[in-house]
């Protein structure tokens, strides 16, 4: 009997202790993984089982914050008892290899300050998941890689180099995002516009890949010696086959956000040789031609003529400045009008640069404009070359220059203007509105009239602002309500194109459904629509991070399928996923 009583008392104590423990306020921290690769992203969450405020995150300087803090709040009702739960989530990527401590976060609740427990994250050079052949991340990493290719790894200072970000893939990939790029210290960089990603087949390391150049830059080195531009990291949604099949018997895939990274090769920059360097050399490197065109060689005083110097070729053209020509003092020289027609493409930097000067002669006579010299270094010939225009003779009809005027540098500039004929001004004889001295404006009739008018204007502005705000609110509400209807209309059209087998028209309608839905639901104008705007709008509405990630993936696949040959391998799967996604979002929003 006594033994049974002891068992009963112990059970009651444990139940009571459990109830008390459940009712305690707890602030905890957890990570999706505490062992990650250097290019792998992971999630950490700080959760509080009560209402709280004043969240203070720990120091995250050892990681790159890709997203967060995204806040989510949940209310639970169990046995008629209500409880609150709030969490703060970050998506991080390591900056370097090693062991790093994520310190304690703080939050205020019930008049107290709570701290989470610190924990350690181990970062390895290669993702631990890569060693597991059954892990989707491991399978994706074998099918996608990034290479950084430079047109040359040895160049002269000022010699352009073309750098390319090249993606190699053997699986379906979606819209990528760059999350790490070097600042190219020691280089002048000029981006090359890429209108579409043209896929090509290449063999790399005895394996066949589809390749696409994702980004290109023209780099012009400004410093000598070995240069290491740094790393490029990006996230590539990659399709990985699963063991499941759809209703038609086709293999199904899942999307993995694969993080890939590559390092620029070391580029050796040689100084320009000092032997044979002209005194007027100004840093031009490449191959160039120089032409001079004169609008007229005969004119009268106070007429104008133009000198047009055209520099053409390929090299560091954007960084070149032509010297000012030597002009006789009998001419007034105005600042040049500069026009550039420079192309930046996979061949480097080429085009023309034109300097057009306006000249106005002040005196008659015959004048000579001396030749202009331009020197550049030709890296192919490894020597300096000098170009020279022809001497120009200009004949001006009119009065000759006064005695004592030198034909060299001009003795005056166009800023020196004389005030002639205005030393005596007319005396005004009519009444111009003089007022008696000591006449006060304060408390006058005009004073009160102006005050009353300003008050009415201020009141009108308030009423107008309220009216505009009310209309905007009504419009926003109406747009939000019609968002799902328009999305269903576009999805219906997409389904028809899917049945016809027209993938291009299908992805056009699918993209219209997605962009139109988010434009109306989040009140974003068409001119400002972007994936970043959509992500910010969803975060403001406390949307779950998993749904936001799914939105980015499907938007990326739709856009890539519309404009490139990359993606669009599973239109039926994309359609079903879009329908499910919009249904979930409609419930949350």
Highest mean pLDDT among 188-192, 455-459, 545-549: 188-192
Q: Which helix (H) or strand (E) holds 448?
A: helix 445-500
Arithmetic mean of pLDDT, 264-271: 95
Q: What confidence tier does 187 reach under pLDDT thresholds 50, 70, 90?
A: very high
Q: Which of 285-289, 430-434, 484-488, 555-559 has the lowest mean pLDDT?
A: 430-434
Residue 219 CA: distances (Å) to CA of 165, 191, 222, 335, 345 = 13, 9, 9, 30, 12
> What per-residue confidence (pLDDT) applies to 576?
83
> Quick check: 354 pLDDT over 90?
yes
The residue count for the chain: 589
> Quick check: 424 pLDDT over 70?
no
Query: φ and ψ at 585, to 5 degrees?
Result: -65, -35
Q: What confidence tier does 377 reach under pLDDT thresholds 50, 70, 90?
A: very high
Summarised one tens digit per residue, pLDDT across range 545-582 is 777 878 888 877 777 766 555 555 678 888 888 888 88
- Residue 82 vs residue 104, higher pLDDT: 104
d(CA 33, CA 121) in angstroms, rounded, equals 8
| pLDDT mean across residues, the chain | 81
Q: What confidence tier does 19 reach under pLDDT thresholds 50, 70, 90?
A: very low
Task: For residue 222, count other CB atoms closer than 10 A to its CB.
Answer: 16
> What per-residue confidence (pLDDT) applies to 8?
52
> What per-residue confidence (pLDDT) applies to 199?
78
Arithmetic mean of pLDDT, 20-41: 78
Arithmetic mean of pLDDT, 350-359: 95
Residue 229 token pair? 């531009």
- Residue 495 vs residue 324, higher pLDDT: 324
DSSP helix, strand, coil percent of the chain (3-state; round to 5): 25, 40, 35
| CA 54 centroid distance within chain | 32
Name beta bridge partners: 395: 298, 366
First to last CA, the chain: 60
> Quick check: 473 pLDDT over 70?
no
Q: Shortest CA distance to 413 belongs to which of 306, 334, 302, 326?
A: 334
> What per-residue confidence (pLDDT) applies to 310?
96
> Quick check: 436 pLDDT over 60?
no
Q: At what angle do helices 531-540 and 545-563 cross, to 10 degrees?
A: 160
Considering the four listed CATH numbers 2.60.40.740, 2.40.110.10, 3.90.1720.10, 3.90.1150.10, the one that applies to the domain covering 288-397 is 2.60.40.740
> Quick check: 417 pLDDT over 60?
no
Residue 435 CA: distances (Å) to CA of 430, 432, 470, 531 = 14, 10, 49, 66
d(CA 295, CA 306) in angstroms, rounded, equals 5
Q: What is the pTM of this model?
A: 0.57
Task: For residue 529, count other CB atoms closer than 10 A to its CB.
Answer: 15
Summarised one tens digit per residue, pLDDT across range 135-155 is 888 888 889 999 999 999 999
> What per-residue confidence (pLDDT) applies to 562?
61
Q: Which of 50-59, 296-305, 406-415, 512-521 has the lowest mean pLDDT?
A: 406-415
Residue 346 CA: distances (Å) to CA of 149, 194, 204, 350 = 12, 10, 21, 11
Q: Which of 155-159, 197-201, 230-234, 443-447 has the lowest mean pLDDT?
A: 443-447
d(CA 332, CA 359) in angstroms, rounded, equals 6
Query: φ and ψ at 226, to 5 degrees?
Result: -70, 130
Task: For residue 155, count other CB atoms closer than 10 A to its CB.
Answer: 21
d(CA 83, CA 580) in angstroms, rounded, equals 30
- Residue 131 vs residue 396, higher pLDDT: 396
> Quick check: 115 pLDDT over 70?
yes
> What per-residue confidence (pLDDT) applies to 465?
72
- What is the CATH number assigned to the segment(s) 22-129? 2.60.40.740
Sequence-ordered list of residues with C-beta below 8 angstroms from that of 179, at least 6 positions apart, any chain:
64, 66, 93, 233, 234, 235, 259
Judge if the upstream peptide bond of residue 69 is cis by omega within 30 degrees of 0: yes
Q: What confidence tier does 4 reach under pLDDT thresholds 50, 70, 90?
A: low
Q: Shortest CA distance to 387 belongs to which of 460, 446, 311, 335?
A: 311
d(CA 437, CA 439) in angstroms, rounded, equals 6
Residue 510 CA: distances (Å) to CA of 76, 137, 161, 255, 574 = 36, 28, 40, 18, 9
> Quick check: 308 pLDDT over 90?
yes
Q: What confidence tier does 414 reach under pLDDT thresholds 50, 70, 90?
A: very low
> What per-residue confidence (pLDDT) applies to 9?
52
Domain 22-129 matches domain 288-397 at the CATH topology level: yes
Whether residue 547 contacts residue 588, with contact meaning beta carbons closer than 8 Å, is answered with yes
Question: What are the residue ranges spanned by the domains of the chain?
Answer: 22-129, 133-270, 288-397, 465-588
> Quick check: 169 pLDDT over 70?
yes
> Quick check: 356 pLDDT over 90?
yes
> What per-residue confidence (pLDDT) applies to 272?
95
> What per-residue confidence (pLDDT) applies to 316?
94
Q: Which of 14-18, 235-239, 273-277, 580-584 has the lowest mean pLDDT?
A: 14-18
> Quick check: 442 pLDDT over 80?
no
- Residue 400 vs residue 422, higher pLDDT: 400
d(CA 283, CA 316) in angstroms, rounded, equals 9
d(CA 239, CA 502) in angstroms, rounded, equals 22
Residue with tokens 């004889």: 429
- Residue 412 vs residue 349, higher pLDDT: 349
Residue 398 token pair? 């009119």
> What per-residue confidence (pLDDT) applies to 157?
95
- Residue 178 vs residue 545, higher pLDDT: 178
133-270: CATH topology? Immunoglobulin-like (2.60.40)
Sequence-ordered list of residues with C-beta below 8 angstroms from that of 30, at least 6 positions apart, any chain:
44, 45, 47
- Compute the C-alpha angle 461/466/469, nearest 5°: 120
d(CA 311, CA 350) in angstroms, rounded, equals 11
Whether residue 349 contacts residue 218, with contact meaning beta carbons closer than 8 Å, is answered with yes
Name beta bridge partners: 31: 44
pLDDT cut 90: percent of the chain above it: 35
Residue 192 token pair? 């090359």
> What per-residue confidence (pLDDT) applies to 318?
92
């Amino acid at each position: 009997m006594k033994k049974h009583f002891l068992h009963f008392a112990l059970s009651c104590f444990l139940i009571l202790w459990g109830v008390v423990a459940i009712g305690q306020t707890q602030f905890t921290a957890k990570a999706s993984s505490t062992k990650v690769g250097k290019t792998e992203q992971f999630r950490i969450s700080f959760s509080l089982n009560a209402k709280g405020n004043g969240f203070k995150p720990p120091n995250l300087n050892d990681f790159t914050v890709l997203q967060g803090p995204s806040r989510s709040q949940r209310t639970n009702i169990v046995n008629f008892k209500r409880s609150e739960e709030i969490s703060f989530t970050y998506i991080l990527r390591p900056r370097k290899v090693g062991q790093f401590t994520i310190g304690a976060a703080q939050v205020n609740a019930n008049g107290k300050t709570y701290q989470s427990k610190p924990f350690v994250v181990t970062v390895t050079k290669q993702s631990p998941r890569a060693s597991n052949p059954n892990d989707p991340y491991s399978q994706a990493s074998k099918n996608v890689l990034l290479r950084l290719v430079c047109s040359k790894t040895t160049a002269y200072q000022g010699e352009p180099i073309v750098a390319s970000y090249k993606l190699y893939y053997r699986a379906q990939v979606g819209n990528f995002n760059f999350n790490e790029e070097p600042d190219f210290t020691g280089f002048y960089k000029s981006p090359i516009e890429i209108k579409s990603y043209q896929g090509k087949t290449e063999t790399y390391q005895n394996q066949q890949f589809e390749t696409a150049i994702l980004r290109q830059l023209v780099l012009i080195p400004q410093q000598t010696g070995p240069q290491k531009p740094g790393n490029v990291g990006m996230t590539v949604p990659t399709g990985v086959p699963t063991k499941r099949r759809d209703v038609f018997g086709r293999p199904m895939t899942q999307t993995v956000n694969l993080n890939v990274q590559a390092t620029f090769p070391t580029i050796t920059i040689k100084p320009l040789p000092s032997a044979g360097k002209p005194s007027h050399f100004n840093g031009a490197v490449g191959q160039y031609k120089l032409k001079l065109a004169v609008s007229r060689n005969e004119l009268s005083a106070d007429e104008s003529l133009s000198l047009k110097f055209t520099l053409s070729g390929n090299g560091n053209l954007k960084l070149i400045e032509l010297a000012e020509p030597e002009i006789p003092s009998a001419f007034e020289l105005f600042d040049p009008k500069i026009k550039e027609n420079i192309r930046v493409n996979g061949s480097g930097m080429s085009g023309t640069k034109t300097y057009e000067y306006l000249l106005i002669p002040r005196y008659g006579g015959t004048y000579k404009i001396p030749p202009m010299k331009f020197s550049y270094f030709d890296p192919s010939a490894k020597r300096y070359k000098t170009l020279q225009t022809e001497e120009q003779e200009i004949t001006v009809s009119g009065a000759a220059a006064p005695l004592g005027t030198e034909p060299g540098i001009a003795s005056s500039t166009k800023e020196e203007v004389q005030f002639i004929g205005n030393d005596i001004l007319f005396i005004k004889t009519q009444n111009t509105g003089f007022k008696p001295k000591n006449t006060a404006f304060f408390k006058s009739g005009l004073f009160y009239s102006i005050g009353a008018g300003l008050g009415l204007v201020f009141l009108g502005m308030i009423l107008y602002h309220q009216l505009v705000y009310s209309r905007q609110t009504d419009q926003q509400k109406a747009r939000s309500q019609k968002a799902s209807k328009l999305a269903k209309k576009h999805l219906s059209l997409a389904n028809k194109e899917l049945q016809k087998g027209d993938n291009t028209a299908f992805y056009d309608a699918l993209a219209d459904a997605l962009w139109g839905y988010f434009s109306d639901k989040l009140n974003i104008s068409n001119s400002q629509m972007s994936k970043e705007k959509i992500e910010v709008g969803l975060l403001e509405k406390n949307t779950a991070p998993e749904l936001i990630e799914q939105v980015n993936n499907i938007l990326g696949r739709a856009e890539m399928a519309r404009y490139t040959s990359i993606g669009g391998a599973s239109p039926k799967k994309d359609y079903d996923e879009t329908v499910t996604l919009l249904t979930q979002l409609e419930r949350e929003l």
